[in-house]
Structure 1
Amino acid sequence: MSHFSARLRLRAVALLAVTSLVVGACGSDGGGGSDDTALSDGPPKPGGRVVIGLEAETAGWQPGKDSAAESGASVNRAIYDTLLMRDRSGKMRPFLAESLETSDDLREWTVKLRPNIKFHDGTELNAAVLKDNFDKVLTATGARTRATLAGTTMIVVDPLTVRYTLERPNAAFADTLAGAAAMPFSMANYEARGADISAHPVGTGPFIFVSWVRDSQLVVKKNPNYWIQGLPHLDEVVFKPIPDEDARLASLQSGEIDMMHTLRQSLVKKAKDTAKGYGFEVYEFLGNNAGANIFNTGKPPLDDKRVRQALVHALDQEAAIEVLGGGGMVPPSTQLYSRDSPWYSEKAAATYPKKDVEKAKQLLASYVNDPSRSDRKAPGTPVSVRFDCPPDPSLVDLSLLTQQQWAAIGVRTELRQVEQSVHITEAVGTPPDYTADYDVKCWRLGSENDPDLGTAFGPPKGAAANVTDFSTPRLTELLERGRTTSEFEDRKKVYEEISILFNDEVPFSLGGPTLSIVAAKPYVRNVTEWTFPDRTTKGPPIAQSVITVRELWLNR
């Protein structure tokens, strides 16, 4: 079987419309073909079962209550639909919604639902359900979506229409309507399940939840009454968390699974090198997502900028990229936007703190010898931090490298391995204030969404997304300015200033862009192809290795 590799890069388009946000376009520079057309020849055949290997388990599946990384997002796309989705040109389009209207001042967003859509339990999706989702769950005390929706109210306009009214203008609110805060779920099921709701999801999606054995597998079956006629094609999908990267690749090679994804650079290279011999296809994606370290800026000594700056100046980005297997494939990152993004700034890139051991030592000494140091330890006491990372071999190597580089400037680093679901929970924190519970964690930052950072960097209290607990008045001011205009050039200047602020305050450090892949046996079709309800408008492919199973089919 010949090896087909399609590299799919999202390149953001420099345009932002008032009623729809245009942020990315898709092209291909693959060596084996230009897109997935060769593997989506049809007509699609109904039936069959696909087993997908995921990089990690997810804590739960209830919107508003549980957080999901790339693995969880792949599962959620099977069970739930969102009001809006981004198309392949980068434009936000209605999905579950039939239409979206936005006021000129960017404060009122009116969503009309498509008629005759039902949840998996047979209850109807209507405006009243959206209102209950919003009032009783998504904005409730402790909800992970509460901060995202802060200052937002919702009213029912008619049986299929709701209107969101924002306290302030927000040009990026369409992204909210494409995420966890706009992923409708059955209120009947929510109220019946109580505390067990996270293990029994009911949405409107193409597949119905069947069973979940934590750390083993989650099974979904075809929704025979799915509202998009003719979909899905598969009878069943099994999602298997396989945290060990080599074991996941071996499972694909042996045929135990049909598909897998990874964001680990070392495994990307292994998959590409072995694809032809084992007869599977590799689909690549390189976007804004980058490897990073996040600092808990709410906890001494990392609440002091001098310590964070010292830690970043001690790091060798190229060495970190090499350890992770990305050497020669990706450049060092300097901001949350890739060099292909129109939001990328050369001015900001020049401000990223480069490796400078002597400067790092000077900054650290300034803190260590400060009688009023924030950790209240005696002057001269060495700085100690704990560095958390999942137990993947490449991340263990990264942890050891980080420990060595920080030791070179006098920082004592305790290394701790932690499973990804716990890793995420600790960074997010627990309700109601979601205060982070860690020192430093290896992480991933960046997305293909609107450059607005939402609640990812403030305010700390009540913002589940603010995993660094970082916020400043200046940052808040800049974020507000970016939300009040739809003019691209004005917004680009704002996000350039934010990037420069981050490079000075360093609530995080960056490694290199994350080259991610989905790998699949050649009989799995439509790996990178999915469409909107009109069945002609295409969605973006495998951004950040999130798998869309709605239109997968088997040719065997």
Structure 2
Amino acid sequence: MINPAVTSVVTSFASGTPCYSALTWISSKGELSPDLAERWEVSDDARSHTFHLRRNVTWHDGQPFTSADVKFSLENVASKIHPWGRGAFKMLERVDTPDEHTAVLRLTAPSASLMHATHNAMSAILPRHIWEGTEILKNPHNKQPVGTGPFKLVEYLPGDRIRYVRNENFYFEGQPDFDEFILRIISDAAARVAAFENGEIDYLYSNAIPSSELQRISEMPGVKLVQTNVSAPAYLGIINMKNKPYDDVRVRQALAHAIDRKFLRDTIVPKYAENQIGPVPPSNPLFKADLPDYAFDPGRAEALLNDAGYPRGSGGTRFDFRLLWPASDIRLTRIADIVHQNLAAVGINVVLQPLERATMFQRGFVGEAFDMLMESYSQHADPDIGVERLYNSNNIHTPPLIYTNNSSYRNDEVDRLFDEQRVQTNPAQRKETYARIQEIIWRDVPVLPLMAYYGVSAYRSDRVENALNAGDGNKDSFARAKAVL
């Protein structure tokens, strides 16, 4: 999939963002600036957002870009298909197009999160003339992008490379600086680092860098590291509450006490990890800083398990624990090994199941054949976008969808509070509502945050400058990158 408009999979961002644009662009500091929209304004009642679009923008196939493309993309793709967009655009009623260069987003109620959703991570604009009337997820253009972005995809060799050439008609004068851009596909982590060290490649985006190599890479001559937590990335453990004994809150709390999350942070991503207590990332202004943590306490974990009616059996174990994660993520493989040891110490038999990501999607997210599913999640600048999707019971789907409420957590009060805060325009009031949401969810532990972390990317500053400056390194279009002469 080479289409960031329909998925939040990292590889789709890395391969698709050079081709596609959105209404706004977000920097590594979280600042929004104009992209396909030259400017915008919000009505006094905050229910209308008017975007004034650039003129003389064309798609890669030469067709003109208009407000009809914005209307089609936001109404039919971002708000209905994208895992983050379904929450971010929950208040979107329709998009009006008074002329070809104006798009007006009409909301049913004010939305504090809307502007955070207008950039490429969840609102890439697709050409209506190619996508309208098709089955979006099966359209062949998911691998043959036609966008308005700085680069055109001209060659895709699966397992090897994707080659792009400069979009001569890109709407920002002087961009991009490069005539050609090649994205190498190197599945082996050691080989990726070696290729970077040997000068065969010029950049490594955050998810491609083994954490164990960060220090060494930072010390290489002519190399610059860029770190950001704009998208609030975290490794989360999704607990399947449909399965016994994980439907019992005491068992879930026992897991939280049994896993040494400080050791995970200090070992897996030293210097770039933070403790996440509760569902909202610590970098977010809505984070409840005084929320008490589950201390690493194997004795307390054992007491909770005994109290829940799961004593150790004759062999010393209590029950099985099917642990799934994408095998390609080296950090998660190391995390799984530590979780295995921690849980074995309290009598839980961990069944390790590293899987190819496509298989994990089907067996884990869709097939629900897991007890805990570990994955890297973007939680975003606003929790309405990246957090609520994991806990609102309205986001439990049949059949299940990936990156939604896959723990099957249901709490009527939490659902009600999510609805309340969504229309609260007073920041203090909204923070108070979110504080209560965090208290309830952290008590119930349907998801265990293993750690929040910074995305750290690297590039050769002796060859390239002004690179990897988007909200995340894996979402950079490289329009602003410049060659060092």
Instruction: Return the TM-score normalized by structure 1.
Output: 0.74
Residue of 35, 45, 51 corresponding to 1:95: 35
Alignment of 1:47-86 (within 5 A): 60-69=1-10, 71-86=11-26
**CA shift for structure 1 position 150:** 4.4
* Structure-1 residue corresponding to 2:296: 355
Selected match of 1:460 from 391, 395, 406:
395
Whether the aligned pair in 2 keeps the contact of 1:253 and 1:278 (CA below 8 Å) is: no
**Matched AA of 2:483:** L
Distance 2:453 2:74 in 1: 34
For 2:241, the equivalent position in structure 1 comes to 297
Instruction: Please report how far the alpha carbon of residue 331 of structure 1 lies from its aligned counterpart in structure 2 after TM superposition.
Output: 4.6
Structure 1: how far apart are the matches of 2:206 and 2:377?
16
Report the CA distance between 1:325 and its aligned residue: 4.5
Q: Tell me how far apart the structure 2 counterparts of residues 177 and 289 of structure 1 sit (CA, whole Å).
A: 19
Contact 1:119 1:185 in 2 (8 A): no
Q: Deviations over 1:30-62 (max 9, x none)?
A: xxxxxxxxxxxxxxxxxxxxxxxxxxxxxx123
- Report how far residue 126 of structure 1 moved: 1.2
From 200, 224, 236, the equivalent of 2:180 is 236
Residues 65-117 of structure 1: per-residue CA shift (max 9 Å, x gap):
43322x43233321111112335764544321233332333333333322221
- Alpha-carbon shift at residue 476 of structure 1 (Å): 1.9
What is the SS of the residue equivalent to 1:79? coil
Q: Does 1:405 align with 2:405?
A: no
Structure 1: which 5+ runs fail to align?
Answer: 1-59, 371-379, 430-434, 531-540
Show the counterpart of 2:382.
Answer: 450
Corresponding letter in the other structure for 1:171: A
Matches within 5 A, 1:200-349: 200-263=144-207, 267-277=210-220, 279-285=222-228, 288-326=232-270, 330-335=273-278, 341-348=284-291
Aligned to 1:514: 453
Closer, same or farther in 2 for the Cα pair 1:501/1:260, shift >3 Å? Answer: same
Deviation of residue 359 (structure 1)? Answer: 2.6
Asked if 1:418 is matched to 2:355, the reply is yes
Report the secondary structure of 1:416's partner residue.
strand
Higher mean C-alpha displacement, 397-406 vs 338-347: 338-347
Is 1:131 aligned with 2:60?
no
Determine helix, strand or coil for the equivalent of 1:220. Answer: strand
* Rounded Cα–Cα distance in structure 1 between residues aligned with 2:351 and 2:128: 45
The one-letter amino acid of 2:103's match is V
Corresponding residue pairs, total: 467
Question: What is the SS of the residue equivalent to 2:433?
Answer: helix
- CA-CA distance at 1:206 after TM superposition: 0.6
Provide the rounded CA distance (Å) in 2 between the counterparts of 1:322 and 1:422.
Answer: 30
8 A Cα contact 2:29 2:228, kept in partner: no
Alpha-carbon distance in structure 2 between the residues aligned to 1:319 and 1:529: 30
Contact 1:64 1:138 survives alignment (8 Å): yes
Change (3 A) 1:366 1:396: same
The corresponding residue for 2:323 is: 387
Aligned to 1:551: 480
**Residues in 2 aligned to 1:508 and 1:545: alpha-carbon distance in whole angstroms:** 25
SS of the residue aligned with 2:233? strand
- 1:139–1:146 Cα contact (<8 Å) kept: yes
CA apart distance, 1:517: 1.9
How many Å separate the matches in 2 of 1:158 and 1:234? 34
When normalised by structure 2's length, the TM-score is 0.84
- The one-letter code of the counterpart of 1:515 is Y
Q: What SS does the aligned partner of 2:434 have?
A: helix
Aligned 1:483-522 pairs, distance under 5 A: 483-522=422-461
Question: Equivalent residue for 1:167?
Answer: 108
Secondary structure at 1:466's aligned position in 2?
coil
User: SS of the residue aligned with 1:478?
Assistant: helix
Separation (CA, whole Å) in 1 of partners of 2:283 and 2:87? 30
1:511-536 CA distance string (max 9 Å, x none): 33323322122333334576xxxxxx
Per-residue CA shift, 1:207-248, capped at 9, x if unaligned? 111122333222221100001111111111112233433222
2:38, 2:242 → 1: CA distance?
43
1:377 aligned residue: none
Using the alignment, how far apart are the partners of 1:335 and 1:446 within structure 2? 15
